[in-house]
Amino acid sequence: MLLAVVGTTAANAAEELDMGRSVQTALENSPRMESSRAQIDAAEDGTNAALAEFFPTATATYSYTRNDHPKPDRDQPRSTWSNETQTSTITQYDDDIYTLKFNVTQTLFTGFRLLSSYQKALLNEEKVAASQANEELSLMLAVQESFLNLLKARESVRSAEDSHARLTSQLMVTQAFYDVGLKPRLDVLQAEVNLANAEDTLLQAENSVATTQARLDTLLVLEPGQADYVGELAYVPFTMSLDDCLVEAYQNRPDMVVMRKGVEIASEDVTIAASGLYPQVSASFDWSSTGNDMAVRGQEYDRTEFSEWSFTLSMAWTFDFGRTWYSMRQAEGVERQFRADEANLVQEVTYEVTSMHLKIAEAEERIKVAQKGLEQAKEGYRMAVARYQAQVGTNTDVLDAQDNLTSAESNLTTAMADYLIAVAQMYVAMGRANPSLISNYDAPLPELEPVEVEEEAAVEDPNELSLSIQ
């Protein structure tokens, strides 16, 4: 019984997933990717079908015809016999007719339609592959953003828990001072109100964690509690220049590849539409055999010349009063449209990459400012607690310092999460897959200016809070 319980517990243990493994799990399980893979298979079959158009077609036909009554065979000559006194004519009849035919037809020239159709199929295969890569990047970014938001929510919970602990400690100190008559009842009430607000903030932060984790489970197609997401907000340096980012985006972005292939496909459509302006040339070989039994070996009165073959070389040139011409003009208009869309996409990509590069720089500066502000908030809180315990400060000073410290922690967490999300978005904007975004835990943090601290502020506080970013 004990072994069964242990086995069940091990089977139900949540699997630890970091960001990279979360992305890989989503790519393996997501129905979106299954749809993309099905499109690739369909595109490959379309290419093979277009290639088959170059080869001859063979047709075999076996037929049986039953006439309502015997009829003269007009294709066969009548045979006669005579004697000295009488002449008689024997007419051949067909009653049951069996026919076996074989036909082989080879297209020789179609106005470049077959060649363009095959090239179009190849381009469509490449276009579908690029679309799948674009879908992978889109899903990857969605997982990374949710993962980073989960880490951010967890940091918010930790900060809220520490804030609640600090306010609980301050309420105990204030209550003790009030009990001995050193502080007014108002200080106790203020501490209780702030503690209640902290409890409300903590509840909201915990709900945010649960909601974000549920979204991540949905993206990975996992049951609730099936995965244990592990990681921390770690600084990842991004050193690429804007010009390098733009060059890589122009070359590697899947949607840029999709648009380029769309332009090339539109060009092939012009050739296909214009193929009707050219003559259509084909050759065919036919063989047939007939008979009045299933063996198709001739008829009762004619056991020879029951089979025949023929070879035909034909050319057809159709005049359709401008239908083909205007279809070609229509295809040319579609091609111009695709080229204009491609130029517009280049502009949009330029803006997106530029804005992401600026956002990364902004978030990096915000991290520096937030770290400096957090150090100052810590010292301010220690000073306020020390002054209050020494009876030279007020309860309001402590509560304000506590609010400042909580805000500083939140600012640093938000700045770090925004920076990492911006880096993830930049990689996707460049068309580069980087599943394990948080991988360099040894990267140095941005240089910070030293914070000057007054000597009287160096008071130890057991409720000190620090945000660890490695």
Q: How many CB atoms lie within 10 A of CB 410?
A: 20
**Is the domain of 167 the same as that of 39?**
yes
Domain containing residue 380: CATH number = 1.20.1600.10
In SS3 terms, the chain reads as: CHHHHHHHHHHCCCEEECHHHHHHHHHHHCHHHHHHHHHHHHHHHHHHHHHHCCCCEEEEEEEEEEEEEEEECCCCCCEEEECCCCEEEECCEEEEEEEEEEEEEEEEECCCHHHHHHHHHHHHHHHHHHHHHHHHHHHHHHHHHHHHHHHHHHHHHHHHHHHHHHHHHHHHHHHHHHHCCCCCHHHHHHHHHHHHHHHHHHHHHHHHHHHHHHHHHHHHCCCCCCEEECCCCCCCCCCCCHHHHHHHHHHHCHHHHHHHHHHHHHHHHHHHHHHHHCCEEEEEEEEEEEECCCCCCEECCECCCCEEEEEEEEEECCCCCCHHHHHHHHHHHHHHHHHHHHHHHHHHHHHHHHHHHHHHHHHHHHHHHHHHHHHHHHHHHHHHHHHHHCCCCCHHHHHHHHHHHHHHHHHHHHHHHHHHHHHHHHHHHCCCCCCCCCCCCCCCCCCCCCCCCCHHHCCCCCCCCCCCCC
Give the pLDDT score at 10.
41
7 part of a folded domain = no
Provide mean pLDDT across the span 377-395: 89
Residue 34's pLDDT band (cuts 50, 70, 90): confident
What per-residue confidence (pLDDT) applies to 445? 39
The number of folded domains in the chain is: 2
- Same domain? For 20 and 49 the reply is yes
Q: Quote the pLDDT of residue 305.
A: 63
Q: What proportion of the chain, given as a percentage, has pLDDT over 90?
A: 56
Q: What is the rounded CA–CA span in Å between residue 231 and residue 152?
A: 11
- 48 and 143 in a single domain? The answer is yes
Q: Which tokens sit at 106?
A: 């080879």
Instruction: Mark whether 78 and 145 lie in a shared domain.
Output: no
152: nearest Cα among 211, 91, 87, 228: 211
Residue 179: predicted pLDDT: 86
- Same domain for 253 and 343? yes
Q: What pLDDT, on a 0 to 100 scale, did the predictor assign at position 438? A: 54
Same domain, 104 and 117: no
User: 376 and 248, same structural domain?
Assistant: yes
Note the pLDDT tens digit of each residue in 104-150. 999 999 888 889 999 999 999 999 999 999 999 999 999 999 999 99
**Residue where the block lists tokens 């309420």:** 171
Q: Is the pLDDT of residue 441 over 90?
A: no
The phi and psi torsions of 469 (rounded to 5 degrees) equal -125, 110
In a domain, 417, yes or no: yes
* pLDDT at residue 72 in the model: 59
Which has the minimum average pLDDT: 130-139, 174-183, 303-312, 354-363?
303-312
Encode pLDDT of 253-304 as tens digits: 999 999 999 999 999 999 999 998 999 999 999 998 888 777 777 666 555 5
Residue where one domain finishes, among candidates 316, 341, 376 = 316
Average pLDDT, the chain: 83
In a domain, 463, yes or no: no
Statement to judge: residues 81 and 141 lie in one domain: no
Is 26 part of any domain? Answer: yes
Find out whether 256 and 431 touch, Cβ atoms under 8 Å: yes
Last residue of a domain, one of 256, 289, 316: 316
pLDDT score, position 180: 86
Do 301 and 242 lie in a common domain? no
d(CA 248, CA 353): 10
Same domain, 94 and 130: no
Q: Which of 133, 124, 130, 118 is nearest to 43 (CA)?
A: 124
Does residue 79 form part of some domain?
A: yes
Task: Write out pLDDT tens, residues 443-468.
Answer: 443 443 433 333 333 333 433 333 33
Q: Which of 146-160, 295-309, 384-398, 447-461 has the highest mean pLDDT?
A: 146-160
Range of the domain at 346: 16-53+113-273+324-457
Tell me the CA distances in angstroms from 128 to 44, 101, 121, one per residue in order. 10, 42, 10
Strand partners of residue 72: 93
Note whether residue 329 is domain-resident. yes
In the predicted model, is pLDDT for residue 6 greater than 50? Answer: no
Q: Which residue has the higher pLDDT, 401 or 456?
A: 401
225 within a domain of the structure (yes/no): yes
The Cα 222–Cα 209 span in angstroms is 17
pLDDT at 456: 36
Q: 42 and 176: one domain?
A: yes
Is residue 121 included in any domain, yes or no? yes
- Is the same domain home to 149 and 268? yes
Question: How long a stretch of residues is the chain?
Answer: 470
Q: What interhelical angle do 185-220 and 395-429 show, nearest 10?
A: 20
Mean pLDDT within 398-419: 93
Q: Largest Cα–Cα distance in the chain?
A: 161
Summarised one tens digit per residue, pLDDT across range 61-92 is: 988 878 766 655 545 554 544 455 454 444 45
**Residue 178: is its pLDDT beyond 90?**
no
